[in-house]
Structure 1
Amino acid sequence: MTTVRPALDPELRALLADMPLMTRLDHELLAQFRQLPSAPVEALLEGRRIDHREITVEGEGGARITLSVFSPSGADTDTDTDTDTDTDTDTDAGEAGAARDRRAAGAPCVLWMHGGGMVMGDRFSQIDIPLEWLDRFGAVVVSVEYRLAPEAGGTTPVDDCYRSLLWVEEHAEELGVDRSRIVVAGVSAGGGLAAGVTLMARDRGVPAVAAQMLVCPMLDHRNDTASSRQYSGGPGVWTREMNEFGWRSLLGGLRGAEVPGHVSPAVAEDLSGLPTTYVDAGSAEVFRDEVVTYATRIWESGGQAELHVWAGGCHGFDALYPRAHVSAEARRTRNGWLARVLSPVE
């Protein structure tokens, strides 16, 4: 019997009509997707006062993790890392000095994890989302090129992101970052990694995370919620079958109790002691119910979470169509939450 689905937002439905949708993902299709060019970050930076630097840090087993660091133009972000290439935008000395003055007390920082089902995408995917926070709040944005499954499975992607968080904390002064205002954020698979990194930081006692923003996050490898079943058996932006492929690629042979909560945050036994959390999803997507459950469990543990389920939103709707009305409202709401979180305490 076909499971009835919540209706798509009419504007999104019209936009999706021109998008090729799939039901399943396999290794052959994944190879094709990975051949597509990276997101054109240069076009996003053009005309904006943003300094862009590429940094390489050491991961598990000596692996190299690339970070893209975006700062308000004129910020002092010298580091002692192995690779450091500037692509700064032009600014005059007066404006650069003013920017430094504004950042004297330390800027907020967003550690960003991209989406892609754990198997595709790169550090420039969906980067327009955190760059808006750079423009609005003067935040330094650090985007992580975590290693992808199936080549790097298990805890490797979340460990790459956690090591990147440690790097940010260790280099806060060089970055001009306020250690008390580090936000961990991500979309889809990156949202799941953001949740895992925040759990790691809590469990290991370092570093302090001020807040986590989980945008339509991929949280639960069990893939057995009502919304998961609703988005099975037909084409979509991200279906239950595609989700199964992503998790299978990441977990390999891990099953049941072998799956760590840092990798699949929904199975973490304890959600107490987490920083304030923003979590959202669309009503018409596979992750809807696991998102609602995660927020509920944070409340049950005495934590603070702000939950939004956007009526008619498909998976990743505001990343795909940022100018749609529901997308604009979702972004405004996230911006308002971040403004409250990042406001210095008087």
Structure 2
Amino acid sequence: GPRGAMVMLVRIVNREETSMAFALHPELVPVIARRMAAGPPPPPAERGDWRRLRADGEAGLAAVEAELPQFADVGRREFTATSHDGARVPLRWYTPPQSGETQSGETPEQPGPAVVHLHGGGMILGSVQLFDRTVAGYVAESRVPMLAVDYRRAPEHPHPAPVEDCWAGLAWLAEHAAELGVDPARIAVMGDSAGGGLAAGTALLARERGVELARQILVYPMLDDRNTRPDPVLAPYTGWNWDYNHTAWHALLGDAVGAPDVPCAAAPARADDLTGLPTTYIEVGELDIFRDESLDYARRLTAAGVSTELHLHPGCPHGFDRLAPAADIVRRSRADRIRTLRSL
């Protein structure tokens, strides 16, 4: 998260690592440095301390979100879906200005696309509210409506609750497509970090349950529970590190982490068969601990005959877009996401 990135930059600026194979993107250094001006970041949460990780992560998300425009002209409506165990899952439906429903409540004559958005947060933190302006910004710029799912989080609600809640949101949108002016053949799933993993897991459930998605949009997705051993080359740059990843996956899966029978809906990298999945967009930073699992997933998707667009951003750590939204590298990344959304 943002605070972890500050710790990362402190190490780099102080030259604690002298033989680096990679370098932080030069556009990111001054932006992140300005974030450090308020004072040194707190020490990182220890492995297994999900409460501290949640508190620090949500404080960082709230600070970043507060810097974004409110997008007050984007429509927001609250709904609920029912999950696999009867739990009620809050949903927030975002519509572009002057589109979606008319003032009279009538839907457009021609149905259009929609996206199920799943927020990030390592499966253990985050909420629809903490990503409200982020999602509204996507909707305002792309003019594609989005349904944000406030899925339950681990460890209070371990697998399968989070991904089943996401599936419930997708099923709800498909069921209510006509009244919302949505073409059910043009529904996509999208998420970043843990939300990207949940989007990939939801796409696997959709394939299994006979729902055809138009696309999956995976932004530095969290896909593989086995990724808990540090890479010393990447270590100086990590905001979301391997201790955090260990904490997050154990919160979701308990002692099953790393075992051979982890279900692919929980960790999509475990899927043996990727055929029949929707057209895919994947992006990840070169300095992200999710880099290799994202690249491998893209490779396996194309090998399975799934059309896949892949972006590897040089010099970018996890969450680079939220750290420095004005940097050119971030603007290019966002333009690719908006182009992908508009193509629906």
Aligned-pair distance for 1:270? Answer: 0.5
CA deviations over 1:151-203 (Å, ceiling 9, x no partner)? 11121100100011000000001111111111100000000000000011011
Candidates 206, 211, 217, aligned match of 2:215: 211
Q: Judge conservation of contact 2:144–2:341 (CA < 8 Å) in 1.
A: no
Equivalent in the alignment of 1:243: 245
Q: Judge conservation of contact 1:23–1:235 (CA < 8 Å) in 2.
A: no
| Further displaced range: 129-138 or 162-171 | 129-138
Equivalents in 2 of 1:164, 1:21: separation in Å? 36
Q: Does 1:161 align with 2:166?
A: yes
Question: What is the letter of the counterpart of residue 7 of structure 1?
Answer: A
Candidates 24, 28, 41, aligned match of 1:8: 24
Distance 1:201 1:322, change over 3 A: same
| Further displaced range: 317-326 or 66-75 | 66-75
Name stretches of at least 5 consecutive residues in structure 1 with no aligned partner: 78-94
Q: Judge conservation of contact 2:197–2:268 (CA < 8 Å) in 1.
A: yes
Equivalents in 2 of 1:23, 1:45: separation in Å? 29
Equivalent in the alignment of 1:314: 317
Equivalents in 2 of 1:238, 1:46: separation in Å? 27
Equivalents in 2 of 1:317, 1:37: separation in Å? 13
Name stretches of at least 5 consecutive residues in structure 2 with no aligned partner: 1-16
Equivalent in the alignment of 1:108: 113
Aligned-pair distance for 1:72? Answer: 2.7
Q: Judge conservation of contact 2:97–2:140 (CA < 8 Å) in 1.
A: no
Equivalents in 2 of 1:183, 1:160: separation in Å? 16
Distance 1:42 1:22, change over 3 A: closer
Identity of aligned residues (%): 38
> What is the root-mean-square deviation of aligned Cα atoms in Å?
2.8
Task: Normalising by structure 1, report the TM-score.
Answer: 0.83
Distance 1:169 1:28, change over 3 A: closer
Candidates 253, 256, 264, aligned match of 1:254: 256
Distance 1:123 1:28, change over 3 A: closer
Equivalent in the alignment of 2:227: 223
Aligned-pair distance for 1:134? Answer: 1.9
Aligned-pair distance for 1:335? Answer: 1.8
Candidates 64, 69, 77, aligned match of 1:53: 77
Q: Judge conservation of contact 2:71–2:133 (CA < 8 Å) in 1.
A: no
| Further displaced range: 28-37 or 324-333 | 28-37
Candidates 164, 175, 180, aligned match of 1:175: 180
Task: Normalising by structure 2, report the TM-score.
Answer: 0.83
Q: Judge conservation of contact 2:242–2:289 (CA < 8 Å) in 1.
A: yes
Candidates 66, 78, 92, aligned match of 1:68: 92
Aligned-pair distance for 1:148? Answer: 0.6
Distance 1:21 1:110, change over 3 A: farther
Q: Judge conservation of contact 1:286–1:315 (CA < 8 Å) in 2.
A: yes
Candidates 20, 29, 33, aligned match of 2:52: 29
CA deviations over 1:57-116 (Å, ceiling 9, x no partner)? 222322111111111345566xxxxxxxxxxxxxxxxx858x978x32112111000011
Distance 1:222 1:49, change over 3 A: same
Equivalents in 2 of 1:110, 1:199: separation in Å? 16
Equivalents in 2 of 1:325, 1:58: separation in Å? 41
